[in-house]
Amino acid sequence: MISARRRARAAGRQPAEHSQQQPSPSLGHALVSRCQAAAKEFADNAVRAGEQLAAVAAGAAAAVADSRCQRQQQPQLLLASLTSSALNKQQQQQQQPRAVLPDRRRGRWQLNPVVGEVAEGGSGGVDDGKGLLAAADENERFLVSEVDVVGVDGELKQVAMAALSTRANFAYTRSEIMDDMHRVFDTGYFSLCKPVAEETRDGIKLTLEVAPNPELRGFTVTGANMLPQAVVEDAFRDLHGKTLNFNSMVAAVGKLNRWYEDKGVLGQVIDVDTTSNVAEVKVSEAVVNRVILRYVDKATNETRDEGKTKPHIILRNLTTKPGQVFSLHQGRRDIDAVYAMGLFEDVALRPQPAEGSSLEHPKVDLSVEITERKTGGLSAGGGISASGAALEGALPGVVGEVSYSQRNLFGLGQRLVASAKLGQTDSMFRVQHTDPWVRGDAHRTSRTTTIQNDKMSAVNIHGRAPDDVEVAAAGAGGSAGGAVPVGGSDAVFVSRKMATTEYGRPLLQNWQGSLGLSWQQAHCVDEHSRPLQSDLYGAPLTFSGKQHDTMALGTIRVAYTQPSGDSELVASMEQALPLQRDWLNFNRFALRAEKTLGLGPVRVWVRGKGGVIVGDLPPYEAFPIGGTNSVRGYSEGAVGSGRNFVVGSAELRVPLVAPVEATLFGDYGTDLDSGASVLGDPAGARGKPGTGYGYGAGVRIDTPIGPLRLEYAINDRRQTKFHLGIGYAG
């Protein structure tokens, strides 16, 4: 077989210099016979190479059975072996253009076996040379007296002559002459290459009869359901209106196959017909025949047809459906979607050849294999609440939590959580049910229903201002710019009972929307849960003047999150519906935006948020400003509380030793002079400035429960404060 290695060896060989050996007429006949034998060998090898090319697509189907994707920590789809065998063979064929030449008689992409018969020159009494061929030495040289190319002229003749290394008046072996024929063939412009050796008195006259390829006037592509027309036109643009060049055709076919590889679509070119001036390209794309679900037993690794999770709950997450062209990238996304349900330890996709699959119409059966995990149980933990000790400016208090959760209720993928949180000052009891995909609707709508009873400290609005030193020092006396305490409790808590239902769905790519309706009843109590109607300064605590306020609240929320997590935008609007005369009626709008910019190893994080409230406003619903997640350097709510607010923050994050980062930050917040418009003016009564800023430095440690932050800040009053928090600021 003519191989790339043999061509490289021939290319490195130089013509023999001035060989003194004069060939005899019998040796000339031997050369003729050897050329004939070599031509036959070339044709036989060509046919075998063509058969190898035809097996390329079959290799993909054979590789399907051995392909499997395995998951470790994150979903993986290891289906490269599905096409690697075929692609490797295809690349080898593309690296050997001679192995992808069309047979003009059959019009298919195979080696051309039509090399013709070698002419038997010579004069009187010379036999057919078969006996001499057997006796001749392989390394014996023959003198070439003349070299010519016939059948073409002009530029194509120049191409053929330039490819020949055989020159007149030099001696060559049979293999060197045949290598020359291959070099002409390798130019890609000729469909026929016929060497004619004629014995003359001066040596061997070598004539190479060639036939040019036809001019390519157009092309058609069949079997391509996924391949874009623009890709096809781009691949064949340089071939149109020119003499067909097999090498350029190979490159064009390679572009089409690379598109399939880059897009992860299981397809390739299986045939090109060039019998006419219009190239007919046939494409084969694998179609999904069936999608089969298998449950893997964690202990035995055996598969079964049934598991805890209902099959339709799993299969509805797959976008790959029977009848579609199989895409590796789409398969990866499907596995990610199934794994994101949080119900499985492992998700694997096994493609297998389907019954009735063929080279021209390949089909695959997709077997989705899942290993289920434990989805329910009791848990206990703890956290930090910044509101607990804000009155004295100390570090946050500790909160304990116990909960029961079931993430696969009734095998439907629904979640049920019952939890209780108890802290030094706060408490919360909540039962929540979530259906992540209500009845499998086309918009992937989710529903969350919550019943909650909590008691939260209102010290950030109704507590004694920790930064007002004069007020604290005066005791029963006056305060700088503030009111005089007249009685009541120094600790105010807001107790709420609420029931909420919220529907959410994806809107656009990376956008999520939700619509909710809730009923709430709120009242204020002291640390012993005794009802309160006024605070320490005699200001009312409820808007209605009764012991509790009631509201029906409609909520609309839209959120954008960049997949990398570097950008986030959240906008929400709440409308209190006065379904009864004494129910609250107000509108609240809030906006928050965050952006992280990378500057080499250093990252810059910026955040802005703001809000507006119009209508009935109980003091406990005002926007508090200041604290660990607002303006650092101030205690919780110590800057102010108002109907309107704006807070901006910026951080410079420098990595130290993983997972530790150092941070430099600055915060600014203002109530936009709206503090006095809040019922009872709680901010003015406590001498809060309404505007403030802070700056400082800190360290952040990434932990399994979120970033742990320890920060030291200085505010615009030159007061300092340590902040300890979990999660990102804001």
Q: Where are the domains of the chain?
A: 4-65+79-212, 218-285, 287-372, 376-474+483-726
Strongest mean pLDDT among 202-206, 489-493, 611-615: 611-615
What are the two backbone dihedrals, phi and then psi, of residue 21, each rounded to the nearest 5 degrees? -75, 130
| CA dist., res. 632 & res. 667, Å (int) | 7
In the predicted model, what is the mean pLDDT of the chain? 79
State the Rg of the chain over Cα: 41
> Could you tell me which CATH number the domain at 4-65+79-212 has?
3.10.20.310
**Does the pTM of the predicted model rise above 0.85?**
no
From residue 644, alpha-carbon distances to 11, 389, 512, 572, 648 in Å are 82, 25, 26, 15, 14
Kind and range of the H or E element at 61?
A: helix 56-64
344: Cα separation from own chain's centroid: 21
CA dist., res. 121 & res. 332, Å (int): 66
CATH 3.40.640.10 fits 376-474+483-726, yes or no: no
CATH of 218-285, one of 3.40.50.2000, 3.30.310.10, 3.10.20.310, 3.20.20.70: 3.10.20.310
pLDDT at 483: 52
**What are the pLDDT digits (tens) for 46-73?**
334 334 333 333 333 333 333 333 333 3
pLDDT confidence of residue 665: 97
pLDDT value at 116 more than 60: no
Rounded to whole angstroms, the Cα distance separating 590 from 569 reads: 11
**Euclidean distance between CA atoms 616 and 311, whole angstroms:** 50
Task: Give 329-383 pLDDT, tens digit per residue.
Answer: 999 999 999 999 999 999 999 999 999 888 889 999 999 999 999 999 999 887 6
Q: Establish whether domains 218-285 and 376-474+483-726 are of one fold.
A: no
Token duo for residue 121: 């020159």
At 9, give phi and psi (nearest 5°).
-65, -40
Determine the topology of domain 287-372 in CATH. Ubiquitin-like (UB roll) (3.10.20)
How many CB atoms lie under 10 A from the CB of residue 109?
Answer: 26
Q: What average pLDDT does this structure show over 680-690? A: 93
Q: How confident is the model at residue 307 (pLDDT cuts 50, 70, 90)?
A: very high
